[in-house]
Amino acid sequence: MPQTIEISLEGRVALVTGAARNLPAVIAREFAEAGAAVAINDVANEERAQALAEEIRGHGGRAEVFLADVSQWDAVSGLVEQVRQTLGPVDILINGAGPFAMDPFKDLAEADWDRVMDANLKAVYMLSRQVAQGMTARGWGRIINVSAGSADIRNHSVYGLAKSAVRFLTQSLAVELGPAITVNAIAPGQIAESAPDISEFDPTFVERALQWTPTGRLVTRREIARMMLLFCSPAFDSVTGQTLVMDGGWGIPRW
């Protein structure tokens, strides 16, 4: 296994949305291990969020749980203020919340369109707007968004559309919020730990992905989280507006 990246985030506060489980939960653990005080956000899964916070505190870290629906403006405003009062102002925003839907557009329910677009895309805009002023005033801030390889796949419906728009928004925010704030995104391919889930939609997808991936394996959640840590390090101070694809080379054009 690769060695742990030695990056210190002591004195920083990181807000990670959708962090009760899956990739955002791993991100929260990694940022806590690097010394950040972590605000664990989720819309409803309090039990799992609290278990994660207790795990982090058990390892000497600092973490608190904040339940809020990041697709709603009032909830976002309240969330950022609650984090400020409890842990301090947000220095690092990880937009990890990202519900999935892959019904064809001809069958897609309006409610599913709204749920996926609002949580994956509108939440990025609202949260970034809420934290940007404070980051700018303090002279430092990092916003990291989660796009996806689905942004390049035209049969991944509204999810792919939302994740494609996240890339556009990442660049626009980088232009508007610099120089104090950098804004970047990571676009994972199929994630190893989530591979069983995709079989519900396409039982052959993982096998085909592995055959088409030059590295011969799927990216892991921890690899993605550690790359996000790098985005917060001095080595990446000049990197903004970028979407880093982590898919083992799967998306390289072949034709």
Catalytic residue set: 159
DSSP secondary structure, 48-73, as one string: HHHHHHHHHHHTT-EEEEEE--TTSH
Can you list the alpha helix ranges (DSSP code H) found in 149-204?
157-177, 195-198
Which residues, in sequence order, are CB contacts of 130 under 8 Å at separation 6+?
76, 77, 80
Which residues, in sequence order, are CB contacts of 147 under 8 Å at separation 6+?
163, 164, 166, 167, 170, 185, 186, 187, 243
Give the integer Cα–Cα distance in Å for 171 and 169. Answer: 5
Per-residue tokens: 8: 């210190």
* 221-231 helix and 22-33 helix, angle to the nearest 10 degrees: 50
Per DSSP, 219 falls in state: B
Could you tell me the CA-to-CA distances from 45 to 2, 18, 28, 152, 194 in Å, in that order?
Answer: 31, 9, 15, 30, 19
Q: How far is CA 179 from the centre of its chain?
A: 22
